[in-house]
């Protein structure tokens, strides 16, 4: 018996540049609050994004696509990540960048397909036979190692579980002991053990211990009611990609295998189209039977102009399929050539027929005051103290170059401040790093002015 939970393969988000963003900052009517949840200004785009969030929540949006379009540094990526925050952790959100499709090992459409499946969630309700309760006793019983040597091995585990109704002592397989250790189970925790697979789930600490220490990270749960041995409804949130992985690699994902296992003998090592089709079939069956529910999430494709015509054709078709997530694109390009074509010009570098099915949200350049507020926010999240006049200079720089450039000056400026023996960033620091590091436009200007000095 081997127990392992299906590991979520949700990508960790690239958020360091956006870590101050906590949501869209809308009020109950969906109106954007001037400065809230880390976002400043850009009201129309935020309100439009709020409507998109509502549509996703009410599941009216699957198979549609939205595009955030606007000049560089106007908050497109920031707003997309705010949408993810609003949706919460139960709705899958898969961020990717257009250029990710170019790999020498994997086909472009394969990359897109994988990310599509990361963005489609499945909520599975299963009634399982479990042993549940507060741990009153946890004793591994050791024996001599049967293979000789000095070590000892665990022969079995004695575990005591208590509920409001009674207490039960169980003698369990050593493999369960491993999963108990993996979940870091101690006396006083509330857990359940699945009877047929032996999988252990720690639900939290029993609330009789709630006053003991006040660790914020700890979740307190009440003592379970009913018998220790019972049938329990277990809810699992996974994505289609999680299922692909769990079934492609036999060593992982025992939990899902308990459901899917009847159909697919775990021999496969690679995710193939055939495997995906089979999984879809099983998933559809479970949906029909009411065991599982589809949760269409969001696939966010940043820098969509990096995709080529082949990808666009694929996307077009994928959006039509019965199980599709909502796709959010973002781009800062104007009219440009569609990649992979000779010379077909199109707005945003996206083919017209795909553009035609999009809802487009525009982001606009910021005013000086808004820039100042955003820079102040960034300073706060990075733990920097910035003088008022330094902030003014910086927002001035931001308005002539880009917001991103101004944000990026903050860290070097804090270093020069430190070199000069200060903990606050002064005007001079900003001016100094501003002359040391160029923004894209001035660098391009220098290049064209000194063409003869560079190799070409």
Site of interaction with ligand ATP (CB under 6 A): 17-18, 21, 38-42, 70, 72-78, 332, 363, 374, 377, 403-404, 407
74 or 247: whose CB is closer to ligand ATP?
74
Give the H or E element holding residue 120: strand 120-144
- Separation of alpha carbons 248 and 402, rounded Å: 45
Among Mg ion, ligand ATP, none, partner that 404 touches (CB below 5 to 8 angstroms by kind): ligand ATP
Question: Minimum Å distance from CB 115 to ligand ATP?
Answer: 18
- Using N-to-C axis directions, what is the helix angle for 388-400 and 368-381, rounded to 10°? 120
The footprint of Mg ion (CB under 5 A) covers: 77
247 or 331: whose CB is closer to Mg ion?
331
What is the torsional sign of CA 174, 175, 176, 179? positive
42 or 247: whose CB is closer to ligand ATP?
42
3-state SS, 25-89, equals CECCCCCECCEECCEECCHHHHHHHHHHHHHHHCCCCCCCEEEEECCCCCCHHHHHHHHHHHHCC
Among ligand ATP, Mg ion, none, partner that 162 touches (CB below 5 to 8 angstroms by kind): none
Question: Minimum Å distance from CB 307 to Mg ion?
Answer: 15
40 or 243: whose CB is closer to ligand ATP?
40
Six-digit token string for 336: 């440009």
Question: Minimum Å distance from CB 63 to ligand ATP?
Answer: 25
- Separation of alpha carbons 251 and 273, rounded Å: 20
82 or 190: whose CB is closer to ligand ATP?
82
Question: Minimum Å distance from CB 77 to ligand ATP?
Answer: 3
- Separation of alpha carbons 330 and 77, rounded Å: 7
Question: Minimum Å distance from CB 106 to ligand ATP?
Answer: 24
User: Is 161 in contact with 170 (CB distance < 8 Å)?
Assistant: yes
- Separation of alpha carbons 299 and 316, rounded Å: 14
Question: Minimum Å distance from CB 231 to Mg ion?
Answer: 49
- Separation of alpha carbons 320 and 324, rounded Å: 7
Residue nearest to ligand ATP (CB): 75
Residue nearest to Mg ion (CB): 77
Q: How far is CA 91 from CA 70, 83, 298, in A?
A: 26, 11, 8
Among ligand ATP, Mg ion, none, partner that 18 touches (CB below 5 to 8 angstroms by kind): ligand ATP
Question: Minimum Å distance from CB 72 to ligand ATP?
Answer: 4
314 or 366: whose CB is closer to ligand ATP?
366
Question: Minimum Å distance from CB 402 to ligand ATP?
Answer: 7
169 or 442: whose CB is closer to ligand ATP?
442
Instruction: Please return the burial class of 290, using the count of CB atoms within 10 Å of its CB with bins 0-12, 13-18 and 19+.
Output: exposed
Among ligand ATP, Mg ion, none, partner that 161 touches (CB below 5 to 8 angstroms by kind): none
DSSP string, 336-349: EEPBTSSS-EEETT
Among ligand ATP, Mg ion, none, partner that 66 touches (CB below 5 to 8 angstroms by kind): none
75 or 351: whose CB is closer to ligand ATP?
75
């Amino acid at each position: 018996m081997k127990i392992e939970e299906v590991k979520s393969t949700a990508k960790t988000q690239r958020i360091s540049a956006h870590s101050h963003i906590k949501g869209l900052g809308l009020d109950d009517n969906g109106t954007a609050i001037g400065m809230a949840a880390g976002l400043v200004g850009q009201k129309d785009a935020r309100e439009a994004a709020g409507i998109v969030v509502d549509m996703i929540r009410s599941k009216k949006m699957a198979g549609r696509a939205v595009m955030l379009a606007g000049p560089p540094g106007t908050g497109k990526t920031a707003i997309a990540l705010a949408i993810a925050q609003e949706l919460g952790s139960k709705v899958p959100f898969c961020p990717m960048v257009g250029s990710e499709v170019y790999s020498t090992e994997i086909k472009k459409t394969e990359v897109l397909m994988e990310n599509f499946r990361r963005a489609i969630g499945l909520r599975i309700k299963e009634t399982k036979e479990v042993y549940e309760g507060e741990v009153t006793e946890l004793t591994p019983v050791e024996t001599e190692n049967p293979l000789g040597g000095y070590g000892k091995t665990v022969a079995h585990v004695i575990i005591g579980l208590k509920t409001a109704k009674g207490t039960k002592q169980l003698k369990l397989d050593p493999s369960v002991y491993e999963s108990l250790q993996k979940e870091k189970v101690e006396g006083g925790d509330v857990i359940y053990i699945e009877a047929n697979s032996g999988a252990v789930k720690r639900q939290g600490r029993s609330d009789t211990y709630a006053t003991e220490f006040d660790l914020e990270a700890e979740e307190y749960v009440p003592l379970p009611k009913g018998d220790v041995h019972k049938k329990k409804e277990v809810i699992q949130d996974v994505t289609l990609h999680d299922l692909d992985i769990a079934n492609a690699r036999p060593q992982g994902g025992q939990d899902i295998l308990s459901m899917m296992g009847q159909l697919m003998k775990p021999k496969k090592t690679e995710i193939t189209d055939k495997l995906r089709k089979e999984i879809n079939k099983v998933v559809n069956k479970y949906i029909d039977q009411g065991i599982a529910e589809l949760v269409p999430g969001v696939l966010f494709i940043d820098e969509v102009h990096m995709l080529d015509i082949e990808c666009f054709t694929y996307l077009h078709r994928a959006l039509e399929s019965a199980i599709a997530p909502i796709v959010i694109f973002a781009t800062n390009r104007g009219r440009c050539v569609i990649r992979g074509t000779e010379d077909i010009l199109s707005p945003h570098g996206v083919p017209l027929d795909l553009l035609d099915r999009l809802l487009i949200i525009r982001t606009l350049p910021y005013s000086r005051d808004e820039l100042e507020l955003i820079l102040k926010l960034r300073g706060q999240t990075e733990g920097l103290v910035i003088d008022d006049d330094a902030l003014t200079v910086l927002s001035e720089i931001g308005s002539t170059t880009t917001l991103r450039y101004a944000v990026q000056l903050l860290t070097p400026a804090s270093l020069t401040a430190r070199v000069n023996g200060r903990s606050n960033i002064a005007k001079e620091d900003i001016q100094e790093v501003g002359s040391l590091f160029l923004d894209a436009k001035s660098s391009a200007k220098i290049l064209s002015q000194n063409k003869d000095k560079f190799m070409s």
